Amino acid sequence: MPRLPLLALLCAPLLCVAHGQAPAAPPTPRKTVYHQDVLAKVFREDGVWNYTTMLLREDLGLLMLGAREAIYALNISDISDRKSAVYWRVPVDKQRECTYKGKSADIECRNYVRTLHKINSTSMYVCGTNAFSPTCDYLIFADGQLKLGEVHEEGKGKCPFDPLQRYASLMVGNDLYSATAINFLGSEPVLLRSSQSTLRTEFKSSWLNEPNFVYMDLVPESEHSPDGDDDKVYLFFSENAVEYDFYSKLMVSRVARVCKEDMGGQRTLQRKWTSFLKARLDCSVPQPSLPYIVQDIFLLAGDSWEFGVFYGVFIPQSESSDLSAVCAYSITDIRNVFSAGKYKTPVSVETSHIKWVMFSGDVPSPRPGACINDAARSQGMTRSLDLPDKTLQFIRDRPLMDDAVRPLTGAPLLLQRGPAFTRIVVDNVPTLDGHMHPVMFIGTENGFVQKAVNYEGEMHIIEEVQPLDTPQAIKTLRLSLSTGQLYVGTESGAAQMPLSDCGRYASCLDCVLARDPYCAWSLTTSLCVTLPRSPHTADGSLLQSLREGDASSCPEPAPVTAEVVQVSPGSTVRLACQVDSNLAQVSWLFNQQLLKTSAPKHYLYPQGLLIFATSASDLGEYTCLATEHSGAHAYPRVMAAYKLLPVLPVSPGTGQEGEEETDKEAGITEPPVSQVTAPKRGTTTGGKDDTTPEQPQPNAGARQITGLQVAVASLALILIAVLGVGLFLGRARIRSRFRSAPSSARNGTAYQPAPQGKPNNHRTDQNSNNSTTAVTFSGKGVSNGPSVAITSIGEESEI
């Protein structure tokens, strides 16, 4: 067969799906919340690393946390409250043995806790890599203390040898299901059930081909099953595809499943799964690309198992893209592929070459890979041991389905550029309209958790939150509904944070435009409140508009009082304006007219406006507007207002020279907060207030511009100009730091760049209109250009 270029070939077998609708632009998180503003609790202990294995014990009020050579019992309400710990170190001889085999003493030849499952009210089962010699033990929590059972069971196949390798495991009753490599080299992957009748997969590349195991879960499909079906364990992983024909290895995502009551075959498939079936899992992004690779899965349970949905995060397998995606799959769709789909079969073409094609011959009965059901029972087969060789031989050689599993809506629920997605959990939240809405919490490579929703095809990221102060990849996410907390594990520490922090939304517009299903604006208390987790009844006193983002019912905000700023001719004035939404476009009004900023007079930066060389024509009222577009509406919010007045001549000695002096040095006059005259209304039209008696009268002398000051000011101007050019021409990295100004409403602090690491590199094409048009600085990442109609702002805003 002639080998075509990789992409051309890929697009042939339906891997590259073109979607009817125009691909949506990756959304920008509406808010960026840095660690210092998160209601987070952190746990870490000196000298201990790799806090990545978690088990919620809501029954005991504990979070069990497995790290490197340590296991902790933490208070589930406050994980910084450590209840007990056990240390599980590698014996010296084991470590020496491991280093002799060429592994690093400090990293690989240690004991990483990797498997942690509940057995009963007091006991857990725990495994560790134990210097490439996996070992398992019982972990008992009694009398407030943790201790190890010291039974040292063989952990081969239950836990990886290599701490850097992904694995998946699950406890069902007393049976441990594990997916990992069973040998030192990591070359023999298995899906293993350790129980009375231990079962595993075949060592064949058609079963598992250099897999990366990701997730496993049980679906109780025997519940009210009309055909007497069995419960199933689903396994998600990625592996090298056998079914495509390329020069290089091609990875694909997979879902596989086995039946809980499987006991293996009698002659064929002895002590092997008779029900191992797998299918490709597709998450097709709008652009043609190699298949995306699954990183994590979360099962969002429904009222009964049929309504369950698996949510997965996917990243590209080539370095060429920085898109991550979330796709969701219904259990019934996956089940249909396995129970009714066609199989693939290997055929020899030419001499030694194997090609996988759809099997079109007769499929034996009972259906290969099916669980024992009523139909099989009626033929006298009550256990997998009774299955005929024909069925077993078929499935031994053909575990791969021809059909792929497609996502629920045919397309990703979320696409995002920037640091890769790593983990996901999903909460189904009751909303004010009486529905339930899934909210996705997605961990990223740089230590942020994105809280995202999909409203009828519209992707919306409510916020990105940094639970720990380190930019490390999020390796574990757990959700507890009983505490309303999210638990986050990274290599350097663990953290918990609330699922929502509605108090962060400072105004009605902020609260409603957030479109956060956990929150609603209370008209009676004028606060953004957390909704109770019960089904809601219509209540006129609460505002929420999730799908539409319609905030037109919000009451008019109280007018913002203008701060008086006194300027002397020729000085530079800085007018601060902190905007708390990354989606807002910032504009300034000057005497109720849209300010046409122009260099070198004005400089707009993310936290405000600089006016250089002020003269009489610059005096007047300045208003900073943050305008968010939602649905068909634009919602301008007044973020700050200033009134620039001339410095009045005064008698010597009444000025506040000290303060002025420091400002002078930078050539910048700060709005003198301590000297602000507070006019009664923000709507005064200039002139009238100029002679208010309590007006401060700074020493005019202090305002005189000296030659030195002019020089300093010019220097500053040049510096800012250079900075400006760098800013606008520079690449997304710089801009994305500015994009992330924290909320002023909450903390009132000045902008600081991301402490370490940055949130996402969002789209970067917003700089097309930075010097001439009226709306000059378009927020952060919002790229619609000058879409704020000048008149509409003038009309809609109340200044």
Please say whether the beta carbons of 129 and 161 come within 8 A.
yes
Smallest distance from ligand NAG to CB 258, Å? 24
Site residues for ligand NAG, 310-369, by CB under 6 A, read none
Smallest distance from ligand NAG to CB 728, Å? 37
Residue bearing tokens 């300010």: 595
Please say whether the beta carbons of 741 and 748 come within 8 A.
no
**Spatial CB neighbours of 98, under 8 Å, sequence gap ≥ 6:** 90, 105, 108, 109, 131, 132, 133
Q: Which one, 167 or 207, has the nearer CB to ligand NAG? A: 167
| 348: enclosing H helix or E strand | strand 344-349
Segment near ligand NAG (CB under 6 A); pick from 90-98, 116-124, 341-349, 663-671: 116-124
Length of the chain: 799
Smallest distance from ligand NAG to CB 641, Å? 42
Q: Which one, 8 or 105, has the nearer CB to ligand NAG? A: 105
Smallest distance from ligand NAG to CB 172, Å? 15
* The Cα angle at residue 341 between residues 340 and 344, in degrees rounded to 5: 140
541 burial level (CB within 10 Å; 0-12, 13-18, 19+) = exposed
Please say whether the beta carbons of 670 and 574 come within 8 A.
yes
- What is the C-alpha to C-alpha distance for residues 346 and 351, in angstroms, rounded to an integer? 13
- What is the C-alpha to C-alpha distance for residues 486 and 40, in angstroms, rounded to an integer? 10
Q: Pick from 732, 736, 721, 730: which is nearest to 771 by CA?
A: 721
| 393: enclosing H helix or E strand | helix 389-397
- Burial call 366-379: b when 16+ CB within 10 Å, e when fewer: bbbbbbbbeebeee
- What is the C-alpha to C-alpha distance for residues 205 and 222, in angstroms, rounded to an integer? 31
Segment near ligand NAG (CB under 6 A); pick from 113-121, 194-202, 630-638, 756-764: 113-121
Site residues for ligand NAG, 31-90, by CB under 6 A, read 49-50, 61, 75, 77-78, 81
Largest CA distance in the chain: 110
Please say whether the beta carbons of 277 and 405 come within 8 A.
no
Q: Which one, 78 or 548, has the nearer CB to ligand NAG? A: 78
Smallest distance from ligand NAG to CB 37, Å? 21
Binder among 80, 84, 99, 123 for ligand NAG (CB under 6 A): 123
**Spatial CB neighbours of 733, under 8 Å, sequence gap ≥ 6:** 758, 761
Q: Which one, 321 or 480, has the nearer CB to ligand NAG? A: 480
First to last CA, the chain: 72
Handedness of CA 771, 776, 777, 782 (dihedral sign): negative
Q: Look up residue 710 and give its two tokens.
A: 């002019």
Segment near ligand NAG (CB under 6 A); pick from 117-125, 200-208, 292-300, 316-324: 117-125
Q: Which one, 44 or 536, has the nearer CB to ligand NAG? A: 44
Binder among 492, 656, 773, 783 for ligand NAG (CB under 6 A): 492
Binder among 120, 348, 351, 674 for ligand NAG (CB under 6 A): 120
Q: Which one, 475 or 637, has the nearer CB to ligand NAG? A: 475
Characterize the bridge pairing of strands 31-33 and 458-465. parallel
Smallest distance from ligand NAG to CB 84, Å? 11
Q: Confirm or reject binding of residue 482 to ligand NAG (CB under 6 A).
A: no
Segment near ligand NAG (CB under 6 A); pick from 21-29, 121-129, 339-347, 388-396: 121-129
Binder among 88, 112, 314, 356 for ligand NAG (CB under 6 A): 112
Segment near ligand NAG (CB under 6 A); pick from 114-122, 324-332, 440-448, 767-775: 114-122
- What is the C-alpha to C-alpha distance for residues 796 and 772, in angstroms, rounded to an integer? 23
- What is the C-alpha to C-alpha distance for residues 678 and 563, in angstroms, rounded to an integer? 7
- What is the C-alpha to C-alpha distance for residues 18 and 461, in angstroms, rounded to an integer? 24
Q: Which one, 50 or 295, has the nearer CB to ligand NAG? A: 50
Q: Which one, 75 or 209, has the nearer CB to ligand NAG? A: 75
Smallest distance from ligand NAG to CB 491, Å? 3
Smallest distance from ligand NAG to CB 83, Å? 7
Binder among 104, 122, 553, 591 for ligand NAG (CB under 6 A): 122
Please tell me the number of Cα atoms within 13 Å of 610 on its side-chain side. Answer: 22
Site string for ligand NAG, 605-634 (x = CB under 6 A): ------------------------------
- What is the C-alpha to C-alpha distance for residues 799 and 79, in angstroms, rounded to an integer? 47
Q: Which one, 77 or 770, has the nearer CB to ligand NAG? A: 77
Q: Which one, 209 or 492, has the nearer CB to ligand NAG? A: 492
Site residues for ligand NAG, 451-470, by CB under 6 A, read none
Binder among 7, 8, 14, 164 for ligand NAG (CB under 6 A): 164
Q: Which one, 5 or 47, has the nearer CB to ligand NAG? A: 47
Smallest distance from ligand NAG to CB 70, Å? 12
- What is the C-alpha to C-alpha distance for residues 225 and 54, in angstroms, rounded to an integer? 33
Q: Which one, 78 or 663, has the nearer CB to ligand NAG? A: 78
Smallest distance from ligand NAG to CB 77, Å? 4
Segment near ligand NAG (CB under 6 A); pick from 120-128, 279-287, 611-619, 626-634: 120-128
Please say whether the beta carbons of 87 and 111 come within 8 A.
no
Binder among 29, 66, 163, 671 for ligand NAG (CB under 6 A): 163
Binding residues for ligand NAG, how many (CB under 6 A)? 19
Q: Which one, 8 or 481, has the nearer CB to ligand NAG? A: 481
Smallest distance from ligand NAG to CB 213, Å? 16
Q: Which one, 149 or 288, has the nearer CB to ligand NAG? A: 149
Please say whether the beta carbons of 294 and 235 come within 8 A.
no
Q: Which one, 41 or 406, has the nearer CB to ligand NAG? A: 41
- What is the C-alpha to C-alpha distance for residues 236 and 421, in angstroms, rounded to an integer? 16
Q: Which residues here bind ligand NAG, judged by CB under 6 A?
A: 49-50, 61, 75, 77-78, 81, 107, 112, 119-123, 138, 163-164, 491-492
